[in-house]
Amino acid sequence: MKSHLIKILLPLAIIAILSSQSIAASYKVTRVYDGDTVLCIKDSVQIKVRLVGIDAPETSKKKRDLGQPYSQLAQKYLAGLVLNKEVEIKGYGNDQYNRVLGEIYCDNKNINLEMIKAGLAESYKGKAAKGFNTDSYIASEAEAKKTLKGMWSLGDKYISPSDWRKIN
């Protein structure tokens, strides 16, 4: 009975810690869903993390559809940065799908910002998470746009992920 209770309460405690805007212990990234969502594990506890402050091109939910331009590249790039690596997560609460909204750090780099700098994500245009500062994200996006990195090379053909979700 006691071990069953621990298995239930431990994940809730970890999510509560991450939700309180603190850097938690190291987690291993075991899956990259797309360019802004990963699965992490620590001591057999799994948490899904949505990279706060960014919005990456949408991958397709259909097998034969490639999804939004640059979505597959964004997923592969993020995987190259974090998959099977130890990361630290600074949490900013949970989203409506109960994913932890987090900044991920690996090898002393803010991975969320690295995605924007590579032109493989834009700064999130919705309401910012409580306590989250968007300034460096907006500045990094402006630089990526100016240099036509990644998805910004599409020019007028670029569609924001939020608009893509509405039409697909």
The percentage of residues in the chain with a pLDDT greater than 70, rounded to a whole number, is: 85
108-166 tens-digit pLDDT: 999 999 999 999 999 999 999 999 999 999 999 999 999 999 999 999 999 999 999 99
The answer to whether the beta carbons of residues 33 and 78 sit under 8 Å apart is no
What's the mean pLDDT in 28-44?
A: 97
The CATH fold assigned to 2-167 is: OB fold (Dihydrolipoamide Acetyltransferase, E2P) (2.40.50)
pLDDT band, residue 61 (cuts 50/70/90): confident
31, 64, 88, 99: the catalytic one is 99
- How deeply is 95 buried, as exposed, middle or buried, from its count of CB atoms within 10 A (0-12, 13-18, 19+)? middle
**Which of 101, 75, 107 has its CA nearest to residue 88?**
107
58, 103, 114, 141: the catalytic one is 58
Residue 7, both tokens = 């298995």
**Catalytic residue check, 31:** no
Q: Which run of H or of E encompasses 137?
A: helix 135-146
Name the pTM for this structure: 0.86
Residue 10 has pLDDT above 70, yes or no: no
* Residue 105, beta-bridge partner list: 88, 110
**Catalytic residue check, 58:** yes
What's the mean pLDDT in 64-77?
A: 93
**Catalytic residue check, 64:** no
Between CA 1 and CA 6 the distance in angstroms is 9
